[in-house]
Structure 1
Amino acid sequence: MKIIIAGCGEVGSHLAKLLSREEQDITVVDEDTTKLAILDSNYNLLTVQGRPTSFKTLRQAGVEGCDLFIAVTPFETRNIVACAIARSLGAEKTVARVDNFEFKDPDNRNFFASIGTDDLIYPEYLAALEIITALKHNWVRHWFELHDGELILVGVKLRDGAPLIGKLLKDLGRTIHDFHVAAIKRNHETIIPRGDDKLLSNDIVYFMTTREHVDNLIPLCGKIERRIHDVIIMGGSRIARQLCQMAGDKFNFKILDP
């Protein structure tokens, strides 16, 4: 997949690093030659120096044939304009980073699509969503919902005493259970499991299951789900404000800030 990333800041650089490791065809556009040089010398990608809102620059980056154009500069208006230009030049799909949560309102989606922006990223919203998920499902390391929440993928670290420790996957297959072991992370290695693999203490095990059966994993992994009521947040940042707004009265928040 050919992906063009406009903006070489913290978000753009992180995206470029992740996607380049997946052997995608990545091009990064930015005005800062120093930042581009660091990426160019350390990762398998192309860089183009220039303004992301320049027709000439985007043509030079090859936007006419790209599958995905992502604009993540620090300025939301620049990102939206860059997406509009990219779409007009032939980009298949465009995504813009914004700083206004109102833009994420579903009622406004058609407007942004009409001017060439297919989707919007609001980092503070995503961060707040991750925090709420971690508070609600505090017994897991990772929680992903697939197919509109019909399938749940959770990553759980097995501690000493968990009933699953020492079990061979082929033995689990002979019992009645409502989950599938999709992967095992052991130290720095990711294992795609087979029947002869054994679950060990400190493994992070990724289970695939359905929503109605996900709680059955709690005792099997030796976990206890604790109901969190009181939360202290260090810093009254935009993420903190977004978190309080989204969570409503589910938690008692206290924000500490000078």
Structure 2
Amino acid sequence: MYIIIVGCGRLGSNLAKQLSDEGHDVCIIDRDSNKLSVLGTGFNGLRLKGIEFDNDKLMEAGINQADALLAVSSDDNINITVSLIAEKIYHVPNVISRVSEPGKEYIYDKLGIKTLKTINIGIANLKRMLNLNKVNVIHSIDEDFEIVDVLVGKEIKATVDNIEKNCSCIISFIVCGEDKLIPQKNQIVHSGDRIICTMQKKNMDALINMVGKGTIL
């Protein structure tokens, strides 16, 4: 997945490094070269210095080929402007913007921009919104419980029983290629399998951390 990140503050820089380390193609834009330097020599993505909503800079970033754009600067005006350009002009499939000042949240809502509220800002939440962890919510039972379809992204060498106990979930069945299997407690789950389970939303990160990290398939 090719992802453009606007804003190289604490959230943007950490997100850029993590997504790049996981194998995604990442470009990050910020007008402050000092912030971009924080990424260090280990960052394998593209870093661009310039006005974040400048059309030439966005074209240099490859916005017309981007799968997603994350506007996570601390300036709501920048985030709103870039998000609208990405959505309305370049039709980027997935655009998510950070709401820096809660009082401006209504502007995002009125413009129909998908947002991550300041109180919920975090890399795990952003990745979930982008579906980078390959989680598909099949059905929301209520405010607390949902049925999910999760792709196992690494060879974890764990049994069904291990996953259920560690993640407080109930696995209904496992999809192995074209086969759908009713799981046995001692059955080992492998990379590439999909597990269908019922769980509390609050335990989703535990499940993703256990089965979804590593190589994204």
* Number of residue pairs matched by the alignment: 154
Alignment TM-score, normalising by the size of structure 1:
0.49
Secondary structure in 2 matching 1:41: coil
**Stretches (4+) displaced over 3 A:** 100-105, 144-147, 149-153
Q: Distance in 1 between matches of 2:72 and 2:166?
A: 33
Q: Are 1:120 and 2:115 counterparts?
A: yes
Amino acid at match of 1:78: I
Name 1:11's counterpart in structure 2.
11
Residues 108/50 of structure 1: CA separation in 2 closer, same or farther (3 Å cut)? closer
Secondary structure in 2 matching 1:77: helix
Residues 126/198 of structure 1: CA separation in 2 closer, same or farther (3 Å cut)? closer
Greater relative contact order, per chain length (Cα 8 Å cut-off, separation 6+): 2
RMSD: 3.7
Name 2:212's counterpart in structure 1.
none
Q: Distance in 1 between matches of 2:121 and 2:47?
A: 27
Q: Are 1:58 and 2:19 counterparts?
A: no
Q: Distance in 1 between matches of 2:18 and 2:69?
A: 16
Name 1:84's counterpart in structure 2.
84
Q: Which runs of 5+ in 1 are unaligned?
A: 131-143, 154-181, 183-189, 215-258
Q: Deviations 1:101-135 (Å, cap 9, x if unpaired)?
A: 46556x973x322xxx3x111122458xx9xxxxx
Greater shift after overlay, 11-20 or 95-104? 95-104
Alignment TM-score, normalising by the size of structure 2:
0.58
CA deviation after TM superposition for structure 1 residue 194, in Å: 3.5
> Is the CA contact 1:101–1:125 (under 8 Å) kept in the aligned structure 2?
no
Identity fraction in percent: 27
Name 2:29's counterpart in structure 1.
29
Q: Deviations 1:214-246 (Å, cap 9, x if unpaired)?
A: 9xxxxxxxxxxxxxxxxxxxxxxxxxxxxxxxx
Name 1:240's counterpart in structure 2.
none
Secondary structure in 2 matching 1:19: helix
Q: Distance in 1 between matches of 2:111 and 2:85?
A: 13
Matches within 5 A, 1:154-193: 191-193=156-158
Q: Which runs of 5+ in 2 are unaligned?
A: 126-134, 171-197, 203-217
Q: Distance in 2 between matches of 1:84 and 1:198?
A: 45
Q: Are 1:43 and 2:43 counterparts?
A: yes
Name 1:99's counterpart in structure 2.
100
